[in-house]
Structure 1
Amino acid sequence: MFVLKRPSIHPVSAGRLRRGIIAMAALTALAACSGGSQQDRHAPKPKVGFVVAKSSDVPVEVVLGGRTVAYETSQVRPQVSGVIKKRYFTEGAYVRAGQPLFQIDPSLYRAAVNQSEANLASARASADAAAVKAERYKPLAEMEAIAKQDYTDALAQARVAKAAVAQNAAALDTARINLRFTTVPAPISGRIGRSLFTVGALASASQADPLALIQRTDPIYVDMKQSSTDLTALRQKLSQGGASAGSTSVRLKLQDGNAYGASGTVKFSEVTVDESTGTVTIRAQFPNPDGLLLPGMFVNAVFDQSVQHDAYLVPQSAVLRDFDGSAYVMIVGKEGKAMRRKVITDRTRGKFSVVTDGLADGEKIIVDGLNGLKQGDAITPVPASTPQRVNASLQPSGKQD
């Protein structure tokens, strides 16, 4: 029977073997580490898209709530008293200035005209007789055939009679005016509302209510309310040169959110502040040929109240927020590294944020590739308009090798 024996290893040879294994492991680890760091050094830098900051004059858009107001409003009121005999208009129709609207019973006023005409004729006859008498007394007084006092009295009577003619002529004019007032005309052109008095009602010159109301709505006003604080701040900016006056053109948004087709013009702003609301009224005028805008409607007025100088339009996606709410952007810094820059922006315009402080002309603002980007990261900046090429190895393939 044969027994296999383990070969004996000399103690010196075993130590050498252990040292060789340890050395090989160390070399393997060193090679792995050197290869990894070399690989990290040659890793591609992430590409980011940037836009170049350029200051410009940016209009300050203001949206103010307001109400429409008729361009002209007139109350149809009687100027004489009497019973209404006729109504000549259709409620809600368009009437023209001077068009007859109501007819008040003219009987009494026509009789007054006739009486005034008769009184005037009588006064004229008396005046003629007094004038003839004074003419006859004149030569007789010169010859002292009659007393001079008689001539003086005759001349005075002639003058009194002439004055009576003027008085009766004025009374006749008044009577004719009152007769004309029995036909109540439209004082202005516009849309007339409902009739507040019907045929057969008694109209009086001193009544509290009008007969009807006429409103001219083409053009039409829009009265907007702006905070006196905002208006004061704007005037300070204008005086300091940080902004200039904007456009007077105004756009409207209706209650349903749709835009009104025509633009208007700012006419003026009030010189006093409403004590109850702390606002100032600004009035704009709009064309309204189709009558779409009715008096009393609520609308939103949009207009460029001023123009801010040296501002930057930055895409909203590029403006980030800190935990405290402050705004910042990432820019391309020195040596191709991303840098964090705090900015001041308090409003937007379209798809851009308006930056008023924190940027300078020529700086490159990162707008693409912001996800996960941190301060000091090495980047490869390219213009945001540069088309990106898709790696062919990342595209799905229909077959596998």
Structure 2
Amino acid sequence: MSKQPLDLTTQPHSQQNKIKWLIGLILLMFLILWGWNFWKKSQAEKQDSFSQWSKPVPVRVVGVQRGDLQLEIKAIGTVVPASTVNVQSQVSGVLQKIYFQEGQYIQKGQLLAQIDPTPFQVALAQAQGTQQQNLAQLHNAQSELARYQLLYKQDSIARQQVDQQQALVNQLKGQIQANQAQVDAAKLQLSYTKIYAPIDGRVGFRLKDAGNLIQANEATGLLSITQVHPIYVQFAVAENYLDIVREASKNKQSIRVSAWDRAEQKQLATGSVQALDNQIDLNTGTLKVKAVFANTDDALFPNQFVNVRLNAKTLHNVVHLPSDAIQHGAKGTYVYIINKENKAEVRMLKLGMVSQGQTEIVEGLQGNERVVLEGIDRLSEGQDVQVVQDDHAHPAQAKTVAG
């Protein structure tokens, strides 16, 4: 059996075909991958065209203001009466009658109560009787002394008798002075049976009823009186404002103070600073301040809780804007302003004093910019914006209360 020769020319040809197929497969994979990326990118661009994040950000802007800014210090205060008197009886006895109504406003010197005067009238009569008795003895002794002096001139008696009679007269004169003191003391005790108002003010609830036995200087007393015209409000301010308050006090300026209700919705009264405490409280780092109010309408009531606003200082011709527009970041304090192309720009600031809703701008703004107040969360440098509300044309009047 004969062997056929092997055809070596077919092997290189098959290898070349395999390489061509492999190259084609690789090219096909690259084409498929490129097409997939192109389709994915086009889909993303299509989605971005409908995304809210790619559109201009709607914002509300306010105008930076330049003008006077009133710095007010805000504090919590307590209404304190000008005077508080606990009326007590100075003598013991039965309370006969009460001449006031609970809650009544009374005048100084007005009769409030009557204690049974009978025992004190008896004591006065007894003292006056003893005084009359000693007066009669004195008159008799003085007559005897005149006779002794006449007899002594006639050399009828010794000098010793005249001197003894003179001593008796002097002794009786001393007794008369003591008797007068007893009479005055009895009259004073009798006067204490009528209790009068020591100050103007409003009467509280009575603590004793008529018919009770009253002891002198009892701790509970009969009633209390609080003077409410004028009235004071005591509050504390941070020591940071010490220089401002002291400067106004030294210049004898009247520092205006207003008292507001608990919800800070209604102004109750206006007054002025009366006095500053002589030291700062180490525990709180605050200075106590007392303000006086006329309180003619009785809007303030003793021990009432009030919110206080103290007009400490007026800043003239300063740049200020709403505090809500100010942002705080790692680089410092800044705001977003809107330029002429309606794009957002970051503007770094240096701040001054703070008022309720308003902050003084020391550096960073000139007073004619538009500042973003709402819609800040989606903003970035150069971001297009859509102004939905512009308060620049009608800037709000700055409210002025500092915390």
Partner letter of residue 312 of structure 1?
Answer: V
Aligned residues: 325
Aligned match of 1:120:
131
**Alpha-carbon distance in structure 2 between the residues aligned to 1:245 and 1:309:** 20
**Alpha-carbon distance in structure 2 between the residues aligned to 1:296 and 1:239:** 26
**Equivalent pair of 2:64/2:319 in contact (CA under 8 Å):** no
**Equivalent pair of 2:319/2:367 in contact (CA under 8 Å):** no
Report the Cα offset of residue 72 of structure 1: 2.0
**Alpha-carbon distance in structure 2 between the residues aligned to 1:118 and 1:184:** 27
Report the Cα offset of residue 367 of structure 1: 3.4
Map of 1:151-230 to 2, 5 A cutoff? 151-226=162-237, 230=238
**Alpha-carbon distance in structure 2 between the residues aligned to 1:197 and 1:240:** 50
Aligned match of 2:320:
313
Q: Deviations over 1:343-379 (max 9, x none)?
A: 2336543553212x3248x6753437998573799xx
**Equivalent pair of 2:260/2:268 in contact (CA under 8 Å):** no
Q: Which residue, 314, 324, 331 being the options, matches 2:330?
A: 324
Q: Which residue, 254, 279, 283 being the options, matches 2:261?
A: 254
**Equivalent pair of 1:246/1:307 in contact (CA under 8 Å):** no
Aligned match of 2:72:
61
Report the Cα offset of residue 320 of structure 1: 3.8
Partner letter of residue 282 of structure 1?
Answer: V
Identify if the C-alpha distance between structure 1 residues 325 and 149 changes in structure 2 by more than 3 Å, giving closer, same or farther: farther
Report the Cα offset of residue 117 of structure 1: 1.1
Partner letter of residue 260 of structure 1?
Answer: Q
Aligned match of 1:145:
156
Structure 2 portions without partners, runs of 5+ = 1-60, 385-391, 395-403
Identify if the C-alpha distance between structure 1 residues 207 and 277 changes in structure 2 by more than 3 Å, giving closer, same or farther: farther
Q: Which residue, 247, 261, 277 being the options, matches 1:270?
A: 277
**Equivalent pair of 2:138/2:169 in contact (CA under 8 Å):** yes
Identify if the C-alpha distance between structure 1 residues 234 and 115 changes in structure 2 by more than 3 Å, giving closer, same or farther: same
Aligned match of 1:298:
305
Q: Which residue, 75, 83, 108 being the options, matches 1:97?
A: 108
Identify if the C-alpha distance between structure 1 residues 240 and 111 changes in structure 2 by more than 3 Å, giving closer, same or farther: closer
**Equivalent pair of 2:269/2:299 in contact (CA under 8 Å):** no
Q: Deviations over 1:277-312 (max 9, x none)?
A: 554321111222332322111000101223457853
Identify if the C-alpha distance between structure 1 residues 277 and 119 changes in structure 2 by more than 3 Å, giving closer, same or farther: farther
Structure 1 portions without partners, runs of 5+ = 1-48, 378-383, 387-401
Aligned match of 1:84:
95
Question: Cα RMSD between the aligned structures?
Answer: 3.9
**Alpha-carbon distance in structure 2 between the residues aligned to 1:70 and 1:323:** 48
TM-score, normalising length: structure 1: 0.68
Secondary structure of 2:269's match?
A: coil
Aligned match of 1:358:
363
Partner letter of residue 280 of structure 1?
Answer: L
**Equivalent pair of 2:103/2:204 in contact (CA under 8 Å):** yes
Query: Given the alignment of the two structures, is residue 282 of structure 1 paired with residue 289 of structure 2, yes or no?
Result: yes
Query: Given the alignment of the two structures, is residue 344 of structure 1 paired with residue 368 of structure 2, yes or no?
Result: no
**Equivalent pair of 1:68/1:297 in contact (CA under 8 Å):** yes
**Alpha-carbon distance in structure 1 between the residues aligned to 2:119 and 2:322:** 79
Moved more, 186-195 or 73-82: 186-195
> Share of identical aligned residues, percent?
28
Partner letter of residue 118 of structure 1?
Answer: G
Aligned match of 1:39:
none
**Equivalent pair of 1:68/1:293 in contact (CA under 8 Å):** yes
Secondary structure of 1:270's match?
A: strand
Identify if the C-alpha distance between structure 1 residues 292 and 84 changes in structure 2 by more than 3 Å, giving closer, same or farther: same
Secondary structure of 2:267's match?
A: coil
**Alpha-carbon distance in structure 2 between the residues aligned to 1:88 and 1:63:** 44
